[in-house]
Amino acid sequence: MINYPIKFEPILKEKIWGGNKLKEVLCKNSTKNNIGESWEISDVEDNISIVANGPAKGVSLTQLINYFESSLVGERNYKIFGNKFPLLIKFIDANQDLSIQVHPDDQIAYKRHNSFGKTEMWYVMQADQNANLIVGFEDKITKEEYLKSLNNNTLESILHYEQVKPGDSYFINAGKVHAIGAGVMLAEIQQTSDITYRIYDWNRTDSAGNSRELHTQQALEVIEFSNTKDYKKEYIKQNNTASNIVSCQYFTTNFIRVKNLYYKNYRSLDSFVIYMCTDGEADISVDGHKEYVKKGETILIPAFAQNVSIKSKSCELLEVYI
């Protein structure tokens, strides 16, 4: 059985909109510029995470699941997802505005791409002054009104902008139009999918003068025009208490601020657990096996594990499971 806190090698992604915070603030090791994303745990094809510590160092996430099966991910998860890890875990740094985009749900993603859909959530770790996110439309609109705005190049005027600060959290269901604004660094939890329909890219071009591909028709069939405004998630920050941020069929995410010592028994939880450290540092112990984690690092706790203790003068964690 596998029974220790597992770290993976970050997969760093250069992006046209990326910056240097992942290197300078989260200490990601790279000589590349414009690092927009750090994929912390990934089972996306051609982007499979590799274990960075312990007895399984050098082994891929795919190999771990193939060998340990439900001991790693949980019995129910293994029955549903088989040898596919169901979540993609990232840190994101937007030095420029990301494209305005939307993601398909499971049904459409499977039909078009043989993929999971993409429901996700954001936890803001740092935000420059006046930095914002785009989440949905300012008012309810029709498909015809949306297309008119898109064709008239006035899409920006009908979107809903949210000025953000550290600790703000947003749930982005499949179909919700959205974008991360310049100056925001955040943690992202999502289904294992890299399917994005780009709607608008600020008339931006790359160094060769080329515009990025847009997916107008594909997006039109998945956009949520009803404009439900339940995306910002309120939660309570208490010491040594798991405060729920998001609970949905794809994942549960809780906020935990650890002061001194926090103990958790996962005996009744049939799932792996992921800890994303969003501030501070801590020692995380699983049945006597200890691993150090600091801001910008991620730990996977196997489903086989029962007793977890976290020791820290002060740290903030996102606790994620299914």
Residue 145 phi, psi (nearest 5): -65, -40
What does 136-163 look like in DSSP terms, one character per residue? EESS---HHHHHHHHHTT-GGGGEEEEE
The verdict on domain 97-120+128-178+193-233 having CATH code 3.40.50.970 is no
Q: From the DSSP assignment, how many helices (H) and strands (E) are in the chain?
A: 7, 19
Which neighbouring-strand residues pair with 123? 169, 187
> Domain segments of the chain: what residues?
97-120+128-178+193-233, 242-321
- Block means of pLDDT (10 residues each) for the chain, length 322 residues? 95 96 96 95 97 97 97 97 97 97 96 95 98 95 94 94 97 97 98 96 83 92 87 95 97 98 96 98 95 98 96 98 98
pLDDT at 226: 84
3-state secondary structure 35-68: EEEEEEECEECCEECEECCCCCCCCEHHHHHHHH
pLDDT at 230: 85
Q: Which of 54, 71, 51 is nearest to 2 (CA)?
A: 71
CB 48 within 8 A of CB 192: no
Q: Domain 242-321 belongs to what architecture? A: Sandwich (2.60)
d(CA 282, CA 171): 27
pLDDT at 206: 75
Strands 132-137 and 178-180: antiparallel
pLDDT at 273: 98
d(CA 261, CA 310): 6
- Fold identical between 97-120+128-178+193-233 and 242-321? yes
- The distance between the two most distant Cα atoms of the chain, rounded to a whole number of Å, is 62
Other CB atoms within a 10 A radius of the CB of residue 134 amount to: 19
How many degrees, rounded to 5, is the angle at CA 80 between CA 78 and CA 82?
45
Please tell me the pTM assigned to this model. Answer: 0.96
CB 134 within 8 A of CB 179: yes
